């Protein structure tokens, strides 16, 4: 994203709206984008309502171009086919049966809420997870940028800054303790925030079994959650 | 993405914050002749049951999901009742208080498929803004709402230029999915406004 300094009248609309505070006034009182902080989410371009149309998108080159699908809500990743940086995960589980009874899905969203992250932080999780033998979601944008052998991020992408990157994988129930231990360890070393989500199948409309399992690991889930109602079908 | 998960707030506030999401599954049920029409039918139902926000209708023709936010349990209940009676075969996900969604499921005879729980935020949480701000920003699942825009529009409210309701509507604009609950945002803004007035 770029701002044409000759056109800018210094209204500050784009400064107010930037989700990662990457835009500020320069010495001439013109809005200027900090290229390092900018995650290419395009929110300023879409919603700042610049009165002189000074904000313009640019043709992003590799590796900077990777910032866009990990930051923009309207960018559709070719692997997932859906807008945004996640996957269908449990949202269509009644149709896909991606998460089966006895399995737990885990989503770790690095950089959320709002602080953003360098893609290099993904390795803090993927490398040890790979050693534990977890199965990463193959259609995830994160899986597309790690190598198959040891789950390292491609070297040229490590310093690219994005709004968030979601690591998605599934494990058998009995492995949860090891994953929580790993999360606690990474938490001490990471320079940003991350959220953790747990996906489980529901049998007989009873969610207590997964809540009890979490409780055994001294974990408490938020009182609100996403629930798939089981109304989807493969064919109509 | 994890989308409507991780919406922050106390239980009493979350009782006025629901999201309903309808989704086609890529490569499985999105290629039938009437897949799109079925999804759009759900969109119409969502729209007819008083959402506080909903994905723009022009996107219903291209997006695999349609989403809407609600502040009233009764409207969610009525929307789900209608969706069930239409039997469209589209995946439906409700984000809200677990026990209340369970109770609706039991009432309508849904066989719940799966749950996505939030364990919260880890890492450098000391760098995050105040909770009231996070309660607003986390209502956009892609985090398109900036903290400084909240401060800016609160200032406009303070100066009497706009109402908290209008501020909530403006804040909602970058949330393309339409899951930013404007009614709940206005309530939080009002609390923040009163706090500021006392400072």
Does residue A222 fall inside a structural domain?
Answer: no
CA–CA separation, A163 vs A67, rounded Å? 8
Task: Give me the CATH number covering residue A17.
Answer: 3.30.70.20
Residue A147 confidence (pLDDT): 85
d(CA A136, CA A17): 34
Q: Is residue A121 part of a domain?
A: yes
Domain that holds residue A159: 73-216
- DSSP line for B62-122: T-SEEEEEES-HHHHHHHHHHHHHHT---EEEEEEEHHHHHHHHHHHT----EEEEEEEEE
Q: From the CA of A7, how many Å to the nearest CA of chain B?
A: 23
CA atoms within 13 A of residue A202's CA, in its CB half-sphere: 28
B32 DSSP assignment = S
pLDDT at B1: 42
Number of domains in chain A: 2
Q: What's the mean per-residue pLDDT of chain B?
A: 95
A141 neighbors A109 (Cβ within 8 angstroms): no
pLDDT tens-place string over residues A37-71: 999 999 999 999 999 999 999 999 999 999 999 99
Cβ pair A205:B105 closer than 8 A = yes
CA-based end-to-end distance of chain B: 39
Handedness of CA B15, A85, A236, A234 (dihedral sign): negative
In chain B, the domains with their CATH numbers are: 2-108 (3.30.70), 125-198 (no CATH)
Chain B: give the shortest CA distance to residue A228, in Å: 4
pTM score above 0.80: yes
Whether A67 is covered by a domain: the verdict is no
What value of ipTM does the predicted structure carry? 0.96
Q: How far apart are CA A36 and CA B28, in angstroms?
A: 40
Task: Write out the H or E segment, with its range, that includes residue A25.
Answer: strand A23-25
Q: Do the chains contact at B174 and A43, CB–CB below 8 Å? A: yes
**Smallest CA–CA distance from B171 into chain A, residue:** A17
The reply to whether A111 and A136 lie within a common domain is yes
Contact status of A183 with chain B (Cβ, < 8 Å): yes
The C-alpha torsion from A105 through A109 and A113 to A116, rounded to 10°, is -170
The model's confidence at residue B5, banded by pLDDT at 50, 70 and 90, is very high
């Amino acid at each position: 994203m770029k701002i044409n300094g000759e056109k800018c009248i210094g209204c500050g609309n784009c400064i107010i709206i930037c989700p990662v505070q990457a835009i500020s006034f320069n010495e001439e009182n013109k809005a200027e984008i900090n290229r390092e902080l900018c995650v290419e989410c395009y929110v300023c371009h879409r919603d700042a309502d610049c009165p002189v149309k000074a904000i313009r998108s640019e043709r992003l080159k590799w590796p900077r171009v990777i910032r866009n699908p990990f930051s923009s809500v309207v960018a559709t990743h070719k692997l997932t086919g859906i807008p945004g940086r996640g996957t269908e995960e449990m949202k269509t589980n009644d149709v896909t049966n991606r998460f089966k009874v006895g399995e737990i899905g885990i989503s770790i969203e690095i950089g959320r809420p709002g602080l953003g992250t360098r893609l290099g932080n993904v390795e803090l999780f993927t490398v040890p997870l790979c050693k534990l033998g977890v199965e990463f979601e193959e259609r995830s944008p994160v899986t597309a940028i790690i190598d198959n052998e040891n789950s390292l991020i491609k070297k040229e992408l490590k310093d690219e800054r994005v709004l968030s990157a979601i690591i998605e994988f599934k494990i058998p129930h009995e492995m949860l303790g090891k994953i929580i231990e790993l999360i606690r360890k990474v938490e001490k070393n990471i320079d940003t925030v991350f959220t953790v989500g747990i996906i489980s199948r529901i049998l007989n409309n009873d969610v207590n079994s997964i809540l009890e399992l979490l409780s055994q690991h001294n974990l408490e889930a938020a009182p609100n959650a996403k629930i798939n109602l089981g109304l989807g079908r493969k064919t109509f | 993405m994890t989308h409507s998960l991780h919406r922050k707030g106390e239980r009493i506030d979350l009782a006025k914050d629901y999201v309903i999401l309808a989704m086609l599954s890529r490569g499985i049920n999105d290629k039938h002749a009437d897949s799109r029409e079925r999804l759009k039918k759900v969109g119409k139902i969502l729209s007819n049951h008083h959402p506080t926000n909903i994905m723009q209708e022009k996107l219903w023709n291209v997006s695999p999901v349609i989403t809407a936010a609600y502040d009233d349990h009764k409207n969610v209940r009525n929307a789900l009742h209608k969706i069930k009676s239409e039997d469209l075969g589209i995946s439906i996900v409700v984000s809200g208080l677990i026990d209340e969604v369970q109770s609706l499921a039991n009432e309508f005879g849904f066989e719940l498929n799966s749950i996505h729980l939030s364990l919260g935020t880890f890492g450098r949480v000391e760098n995050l803004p105040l909770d009231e701000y996070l309660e607003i920003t986390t209502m956009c699942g892609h985090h398109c709402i900036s903290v400084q825009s909240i401060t800016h529009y609160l200032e406009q409210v303070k100066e009497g230029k706009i109402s908290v309701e209008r501020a909530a509507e403006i804040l909602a604009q970058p949330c393309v999915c339409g899951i930013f609950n404007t009614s709940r945002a206005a309530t939080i803004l009002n609390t923040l406004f009163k706090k500021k007035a006392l400072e």
